[in-house]
Amino acid sequence: MTKKATSAPKTSPKYQFDAIVIGTGPGGEGLAMQLAKAGKEVAVVERYEAVGGGCTHWGTIPSKALRHSVSRLIEYNNTPLFSENHINRNVTFSEIMRHASGVIQSQSKLRSSFYDRNRVSLFHGEASFVDKNTLKIVRHDGSQETISAKQIALATGSRPYCPEDIDFSHPRIYNSDTILNMKHDPKSIIIYGAGVIGSEYASIFRGMGVKVDLVNMRERLLSFLDAEISDALSYHLWNNGVVIRNNETYSSVEGRDDSVILNLESGKRMRADCLLFANGRTGNTDMLNLAAIGLEADSRGQVKVNEHYQTEVDNIYAVGDVIGYPSLASAAYNQGRFAAEAMLEGKANAGLVEDIPTGIYTIPEISSVGKTEQELTDMKVPYEVGRAQFKHLARAQIASTQVGSLKILFHRETKEILGIHCFGERASEIVHIGQAIMQQKGEANSLDYFVNTTFNYPTMAEAYRVAALNGLNRIF
């Protein structure tokens, strides 16, 4: 009797890499670095020639560099030291973009060095799925190659939403990416969309002396903010000459040789030298061929993940704008680190902090963390308010940056810090002091900290002591 043949033992498939990360923005960078430092063979795929993603090249870095230059220009023109016997200095958009371009190049060069130092393989081209372990990369010259890995992470970011009924190829119609390539010097601009991006660019262009019409689809600007802060921004923009049109939606856009006309559903017609359309963003998933792995993106191009940043396909993970909220560069970097932990250990050992600070780089800045007055009122929390006006601070008087204030919301019985809201120069820096105290547990999170701590003098941080004392005076 012959012995029955036994089949050879199955071997696990061999892959070129342990993990592939698609995208080199903050989320992709955080993920790739964490995996590489854990000793994994990692590859990253970047569709453009330079690393850094939208954050470095079209979003956070360039817009904030633009904002900084315009803010300093305003400061120069309004400082009494320079106001005697001088004519206001003006600059063009292309002039301040030269400064921004230098910052972009420096950031991209720095970020590229991270991949070199950590021996991460970098591929340039458009990635798409062949199967759940294999990617096809189409290079800019049309050539192709495939690479494979046990795990793959999506960090592809997002792009401006561009409705098909608007001709974005017209030289006077822009989105928040293409506006950075504007060559002419407009005297007027219509900004459609008054979210964070639209409000920031309204500040930038108005600071350059451009006539700005800001079209908002909602009842008030940035409605997620504390109402007082939102009102302060509206007043400041209005006081500087920005025309804000609330509760409006467009019906059509006409691009002409010498202007752009925006027709609104209400029957109004608006004309300006150019139009910036800044109404939402879409996740970059349409080129990935997700159907090949049975993964589906929603109408906004976003994919669903669990608490470990794992998609419905067990070896595919996703972080950053492509998974939605909070869609912040700083949060995306941490999401990348947490997702790397999950890819290494099967679970993410940490998550984003509950109170994520909001930084809005209008002129002046806005930043907040925690609950708003409206939220606390709805929750029936017995809170009190402490305020500090920047115009009363010595540091603000010295720097001639007296517009703005700090507001602390705290529980009137326990003195627990519930929310910090700041409007004014350096707001996005100042808010972190309050955030640090809010993260403490028990009695360490108390208004008394700001009362009893000695702050450097003169500083903007002193606003916390002033606001805390103001709040204590309201308790009876």
Q: Is 106 a known ligand-binding residue? A: no
Neighbour tally for 389: CB within 10 Å: 17
Rounded Cα–Cα distance for residues 29 and 6 (Å): 47
Q: How does 57-67 read in b/e, with b if 16+ C-beta sit within 10 Å?
A: bbbbbbbbbbb
Q: Is 28 a known ligand-binding residue? A: no
| pLDDT confidence of residue 195 | 95
Helix (H) or strand (E) holding 423: strand 417-424
Q: Is 64 a known ligand-binding residue? A: yes
Q: Is 157 a known ligand-binding residue? A: yes
118 pLDDT higher than 80: yes
Rounded Cα–Cα distance for residues 424 and 368 (Å): 12
Q: Is 5 a known ligand-binding residue? A: no
Spatial contact of 408 and 385, defined as CB atoms under 8 Å apart: yes
Question: What are the two backbone dihedrals, phi and then psi, of residue 150, each rounded to the nearest 5 degrees?
Answer: -70, -40
Q: Pick the more confident residue, 94 or 156.
A: 156
Rounded Cα–Cα distance for residues 135 and 148 (Å): 6
Topology annotation, domain 173-279: FAD/NAD(P)-binding domain (3.50.50)
Spatial contact of 434 and 428, defined as CB atoms under 8 Å apart: no
| pLDDT confidence of residue 364 | 92
Q: Is 46 a known ligand-binding residue? A: yes
Question: 3-state DSSP call for residue 340?
Answer: helix
Domain ranges of the chain: 17-158+282-345, 173-279, 364-472
- The arithmetic mean of pLDDT across residues 408-431, rounded, is 96
Q: Is 156 a known ligand-binding residue? A: yes
For the ranges 66-80, 116-130, 259-273, 294-308, the lowest mean pLDDT is seen at 66-80
For the ranges 8-12, 92-96, 453-457, 458-462, the lowest mean pLDDT is seen at 8-12
Q: Is 403 a known ligand-binding residue? A: no
Residues of the chain with pLDDT > 70: what percent?
95
Architecture per CATH, domain 17-158+282-345, reads as 3-Layer(bba) Sandwich (3.50)
Indicate the pairing of strand 404-411 with strand 417-424: antiparallel
Q: Is 280 a known ligand-binding residue? A: yes
- The arithmetic mean of pLDDT across residues 6-21, rounded, is 69
Q: Is 51 a known ligand-binding residue? A: yes
Neighbour tally for 420: CB within 10 Å: 29
Q: Is 47 a known ligand-binding residue? A: yes
Q: Is 158 a known ligand-binding residue? A: yes
| pLDDT confidence of residue 198 | 97
Topology annotation, domain 364-472: Enolase-like; domain 1 (3.30.390)
Q: Model confidence at 84, in pLDDT bands (50, 70, 90)?
A: low
Q: Is 52 a known ligand-binding residue? A: yes
Supply the Cα-derived Rg of the chain in whole angstroms: 25
Q: Is 162 a known ligand-binding residue? A: no
- The arithmetic mean of pLDDT across residues 101-117, rounded, is 89
For residue range 172-226, what is the model confidence (pLDDT) as tens digits?
Answer: 999 999 999 898 899 999 999 999 999 999 999 999 999 999 999 999 999 999 9
Task: Return the amino acid letter for 287.
Answer: M
Here the tokens at position 36 are 């590489």
CB-based contacts of 346, cutoff 8 Å, min separation 6: 308
Q: Pick the more confident residue, 438 or 443.
A: 438
325 pLDDT higher than 70: yes
- The arithmetic mean of pLDDT across residues 294-316, rounded, is 96
- The arithmetic mean of pLDDT across residues 98-120, rounded, is 89
Question: What are the two backbone dihedrals, phi and then psi, of residue 197, each rounded to the nearest 5 degrees?
Answer: -65, -45
Q: Is 193 a known ligand-binding residue? A: yes
90 pLDDT higher than 90: no
Q: Is 200 a known ligand-binding residue? A: yes
User: 364-472: same fold as 17-158+282-345?
Assistant: no
Q: Is 354 a known ligand-binding residue? A: no
Q: Model confidence at 71, in pLDDT bands (50, 70, 90)?
A: confident
Q: Is 55 a known ligand-binding residue? A: yes
Spatial contact of 146 and 137, defined as CB atoms under 8 Å apart: yes
Helix (H) or strand (E) holding 438: helix 427-438
463 pLDDT higher than 90: yes
- The arithmetic mean of pLDDT across residues 35-64, rounded, is 91
For residue range 337-389, what is the model confidence (pLDDT) as tens digits?
Answer: 999 999 999 998 888 888 899 999 999 999 999 999 999 999 999 999 999 99
| pLDDT confidence of residue 98 | 82
| pLDDT confidence of residue 263 | 98
Q: Pick the more confident residue, 154 or 56.
A: 154
Starting at the edge strand found earlier in the chain, the sheet holding 260-264 runs: 250-255, 260-264, 269-272
| pLDDT confidence of residue 8 | 40
| Residue written as token pair 């409206």 | 374
Q: Is 104 a known ligand-binding residue? A: no
- The arithmetic mean of pLDDT across residues 95-99, rounded, is 82
Q: Model confidence at 470, in pLDDT bands (50, 70, 90)?
A: very high
Q: Is 30 a known ligand-binding residue? A: no
Q: Is 53 a known ligand-binding residue? A: yes
Q: Model confidence at 55, in pLDDT bands (50, 70, 90)?
A: confident
Rounded Cα–Cα distance for residues 434 and 441 (Å): 14
| Residue written as token pair 């019409």 | 213
Q: How does 319-358 read in b/e, with b if 16+ C-beta sit within 10 Å?
A: bbbbbbeebbbebbbbbbbbbbbbbbeeebeeeeeebbbb
Query: 196-207 and 60-78 helices cross at what angle (nearest 10)?
Result: 40
Q: Is 241 a known ligand-binding residue? A: no
